[in-house]
């Protein structure tokens, strides 16, 4: 049986916003409402982005703000998404949670994952169960999507401070930095789960980290959320500055241990959340800046969403100042509809949620009448003739309507889904397709009676 819980407030709010946009478009002769693709994830609230490039994909590690949190962080697990085109993101679920660490009590806060010698190490801050003190744990996996397990059975380091960032220098030395209100670093050993020497405080000077207006207790802008990396011979530390509302600032240094020089603002205080958190990568020849805001319906300081912007470094290696957008970066390449695509590969979703599939992986579920999934830049080429989806339904099913260009763009196919006898009892449905040519945005619009209609595991077109 499907869990008889209502769908999350976020899913319902997005579905309502989607219907309102469609109604207003219908009243207006203009084409479909512009479909923003930022924030990246619409099925849950996500926070504290930590991107990692591995084998031609971006893996995005995030925190997860529970629905309905209004006065404190309610964060119990971490999430992973991935993309090879910066537009369509695949949901890999939660391979790491507070339960992974027997010693953890609460607060699944801002972490970062890194790969070394084929293993993936995910450093996360969380409260230690008995003392309530913040500690940093390290989880390990042989896959970027997990499952992750506690590498040590105890914290890697515990000094009451948060927000680890990890980085391996070109000479092979790995460093872990973290801290709020201080900024610490320690040299990690090659095993990535132990360290040499003692944690060292980085001097928070105003030359290094800017001057906080009225900052007597904390004279510099440094607040939390460091993100340290190297580009050429220059070391960057991008961090959440000032509080609160935070903005994103950065410093640079000629070595991983400083001396740091304050360089200014990366992203001003914007976006309906009092925190922000940076993540910076280069991917397929371009640079990307990840952050979070409260931009989704119901969003705010404790219901945040991860977003991303593309940027170009200035010729003098400084970072340009960026604003939050709802468009996000351009797609890199296209999506191939003639291979199996996971239903949870999404550019923008309204109403739906995701869940673990009994056989492994994820499926899209909690589908109701009027919900929709957009997949950006689908390369149909000379034309698709057939659509197949793997579906399951414990009720009477419904319809998958395929449209291109917009949520009420041309219909290119319609698939009827019948009951299969269970939410994890899977069957293929196939229907004819016509008019799906060239490279188009694809919309899977779901319709049917009341209540939950069906689940979708994956889909594929054929010529």
Choose which of 21, 73, 106, 409 interacts with ligand FUB (CB under 6 A). 73
Choose which of 10, 47, 87, 188 interacts with ligand FUB (CB under 6 A). 47
- 161 as an active site residue: the answer is no
Pick between residue 110 and residue 400 the one whose CB is nearest to ligand FUB.
Answer: 110
279 Rama sector, left if φ>0, alpha if ψ -120 to 50, beta otherwise: beta
Q: Is 274 a residue that touches ligand FUB (CB under 6 A)? A: no
Choose which of 90, 251, 275, 393 interacts with ligand FUB (CB under 6 A). 275
Pick between residue 296 and residue 375 the one whose CB is nearest to ligand FUB.
Answer: 296
Q: Is 277 a residue that touches ligand FUB (CB under 6 A)? A: yes
User: Least separation, in Å, of the C-beta of 287 and ligand FUB?
Assistant: 22
Pick between residue 109 and residue 366 the one whose CB is nearest to ligand FUB.
Answer: 109
- Residue 308 pairs in a beta bridge with 290
Of 65, 77, 223, 344, the catalytic one is 223
Q: Is 109 a residue that touches ligand FUB (CB under 6 A)? A: yes
Choose which of 37, 48, 368, 457 interacts with ligand FUB (CB under 6 A). 48
Of 37, 48, 77, 84, the catalytic one is 48
Q: How many residues bind ligand FUB (CB under 6 A)?
A: 13
User: Least separation, in Å, of the C-beta of 222 and ligand FUB?
Assistant: 12
| Residue 29 to residue 189: CA distance in whole angstroms | 63
Q: Is 77 a residue that touches ligand FUB (CB under 6 A)? A: no
Contact 298, 70 (CB under 8 A): no
Pick between residue 111 and residue 407 the one whose CB is nearest to ligand FUB.
Answer: 111
Q: Is 163 a residue that touches ligand FUB (CB under 6 A)? A: yes
Site string for ligand FUB, 336-375 (x = CB under 6 A): ----------------------------------------
Lookup result for tokens 């034309």: 383
Q: Is 224 a residue that touches ligand FUB (CB under 6 A)? A: yes
Query: Of residues 229-248, which lie at the interface with ligand FUB (CB under 6 A)?
Result: 240
Choose which of 63, 146, 397, 413 interacts with ligand FUB (CB under 6 A). 63
- 48 as an active site residue: the answer is yes
| Residue 366 to residue 410: CA distance in whole angstroms | 25
Q: Is 162 a residue that touches ligand FUB (CB under 6 A)? A: yes
Active site residues: 48, 223
Residues of this chain that interact with ligand FUB (CB under 6 A) are 47-48, 63, 73, 109-110, 162-163, 224-225, 240, 275, 277
């Amino acid at each position: 049986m499907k869990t008889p819980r209502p769908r999350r407030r976020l899913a319902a709010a997005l579905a309502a916003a989607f219907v309102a946009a469609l109604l207003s478009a219908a009243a207006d002769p203009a084409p479909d409402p512009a479909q923003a693709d930022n924030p990246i994830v619409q099925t849950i609230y996500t926070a504290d982005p930590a991107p990692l490039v591995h084998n031609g994909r971006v893996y995005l590690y995030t925190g997860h703000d529970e629905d309905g949190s209004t006065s404190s962080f309610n964060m119990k697990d971490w999430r992973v998404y991935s993309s090879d085109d910066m537009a369509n993101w695949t949901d890999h679920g939660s391979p790491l949670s507070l339960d992974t660490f027997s010693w953890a009590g609460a607060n699944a806060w801002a972490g970062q994952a890194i790969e070394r010698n084929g293993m993936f190490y995910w450093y996360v801050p969380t409260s230690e169960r008995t003392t309530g003190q913040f500690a940093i744990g390290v989880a390990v996996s042989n896959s970027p999507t997990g499952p992750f397990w506690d590498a040590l059975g105890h914290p890697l380091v515990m000094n009451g401070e948060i927000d680890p960032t990890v980085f391996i220098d070109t000479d092979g030395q790995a460093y872990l930095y973290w801290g709020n209100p201080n900024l610490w670093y320690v040299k990690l050993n090659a095993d990535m789960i132990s360290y040499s020497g003692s944690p060292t405080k980085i001097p928070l000077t105003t030359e290094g980290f800017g001057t906080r207006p009225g900052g007597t207790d904390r004279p510099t802008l440094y607040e939390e959320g460091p993100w340290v990396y190297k580009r050429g011979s220059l070391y960057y530390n991008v961090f959440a500055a000032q509080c609160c509302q935070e903005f994103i600032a950065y410093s640079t240094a000629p070595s991983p241990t400083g001396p740091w020089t304050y360089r200014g603002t990366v992203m001003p205080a914007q976006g309906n959340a009092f925190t922000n958190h940076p993540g910076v990568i280069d991917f397929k020849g371009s640079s990307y800046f990840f952050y979070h805001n409260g931009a989704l319906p119901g969003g705010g300081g404790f219901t945040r969403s991860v977003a991303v912007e593309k940027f170009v470094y200035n010729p003098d290696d400084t970072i340009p100042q960026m604003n939050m957008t709802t468009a996000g970066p351009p797609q890199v390449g296209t999506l191939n509809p003639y291979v199996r695509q996971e239903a949870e590969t999404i550019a923008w979703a309204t109403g739906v949620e995701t869940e673990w599939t009994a056989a492994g992986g994820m499926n899209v579920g909690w589908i109701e009448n009027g919900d929709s999934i957009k997949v950006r830049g689908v390369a149909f080429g000379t034309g698709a003739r057939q659509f197949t989806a793997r579906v399951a339904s414990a009720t009477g099913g419904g319809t998958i309507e395929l449209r291109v260009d917009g949520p009420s763009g041309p219909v290119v196919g319609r698939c009827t889904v019948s009951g299969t006898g269970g939410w994890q009892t899977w069957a293929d449905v196939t229907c004819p397709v016509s008019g799906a040519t060239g490279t188009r945005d694809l919309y899977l619009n779901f319709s049917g009676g009341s209540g939950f209609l069906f689940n979708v595991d994956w889909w594929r077109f054929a010529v």
